Amino acid sequence: MDVPAGLKGVAVADTTIGSVRGGEGFFHYRQYDATELARQRSLEEIWYLLLEERLPTPVELNDFVGGLAEARRLPDGFGGVLDAIAARKPSFAGGLVAAIPLLAPFDPTVDIDAAARRRDAVAVAAAAPTVLAGLHRRMIGLEPVEPDPELSHAANWLLMLSGEVPTPAQERAVETYLAATIDHGFNNSTFTARTITSSGADVGGAMAGAVAALSGPLHGGAPGRVFTMLDEIGDPANTDDWVQRRLDGGEVIMGFGHAVYRADDPRSLLLREAAESFGGPLVERAILIEARILELLRAHKPEATIVTNVEYYASLVLHLAGLTPELFTPTFTVSRVIGWTAHILEQAANNKIIRPAANYVGPAAPAPVPAN
């Protein structure tokens, strides 16, 4: 069977976790509109939904939040591990890839118990922000900050980075971003997590591979570059010249276009609302620049459907919440690790190893060597 390059548009599995309907500009988690969940529910409630296939009762949510608070604290002695990793000055992804297998130690059994796999999946996703924040502070010469069991997952991420409890506005903005980016179809990193899981590998291996996939600039690296673009353009009056120079050079304009959406990216609309809740000249300037870039790109490629993607307003929301551009992709990771847990557990529950074929297009094989 011949398939498009990159498996574009090819359905490779069944899932009940969610779906993206790009032609409609819609995506959902389980049976719920994902953007409405992000507006109305906490990150922890959505996390529970992905794992348990239903929203929690108040008692269930309280128990789940308590378990996350416990899992967010790193094991005794793990600080020394992070000290050793940080001393090598890795990328955020590289540091997390090194640490994850130690958060969910390799299980040598052929058939990993389902309860143990779920425990490890939740533990890794809960501890990932603690690892990332700890590495960040160590690499800039600051002491790590312990998570606070009284704070939400989003608030703890900001606390552990800055050392200060975020404002309610900052917490809610980051929580909205995290909730909107937990899962988004069979993207590159999610597919990687499922492929590794399909071999029977443990949670640590699957999550480490997914983090490595997310580190690529074509997948998880755009929000920081969007903020750089806004800074370079400055005055909206400079937009035409800035964009034309990039188009002439064959460059991609970050924050625009999407592989799936042919209508508005609902995550972008949601995060524009979050940015507008802060207000201020930066947001006003970004809205003007967005409108003009869309006009220019649509004139440049009238046959294409050009939409603003999630990275554009994500950059503003994360900046206004107090994060610097180098922390944008790690924040995306804090969100996406949650979605990977659901996919890892779903793949393992009804597994068949993912083993596609390839078309050989090299030189013809040599003739057999004649027998003496």
Q: Which positions are catalytic?
A: 258, 311
| Rounded Cα distance, 274 and 169, in Å | 9
Query: 3-state class of 19 per DSSP?
Result: strand
Which of 167, 154, 180 lies closest to 272, judged by CA? 180
**Are 325 and 224 contacting, i.e. CB atoms less than 8 angstroms apart?**
yes
Tell the burial category of 118 from Cβ atoms under 10 Å away from its Cβ (0-12, 13-18, 19+): middle
| Rounded Cα distance, 98 and 102, in Å | 8
| Rounded Cα distance, 134 and 160, in Å | 7
HSE of 74, CA atoms in CB hemisphere, 13 A: 22
**Are 197 and 206 contacting, i.e. CB atoms less than 8 angstroms apart?**
yes
Helix 310-320 vs helix 266-278: crossing angle, to nearest 10: 30
| Rounded Cα distance, 142 and 80, in Å | 15
Which of 193, 134, 140 lies closest to 159, judged by CA? 134
Start-to-end Cα distance in the chain: 40
| Rounded Cα distance, 29 and 339, in Å | 10
| Rounded Cα distance, 239 and 174, in Å | 28
The label of the residue with tokens 């980016």 reads 181
| Rounded Cα distance, 125 and 118, in Å | 11
| Rounded Cα distance, 222 and 244, in Å | 20
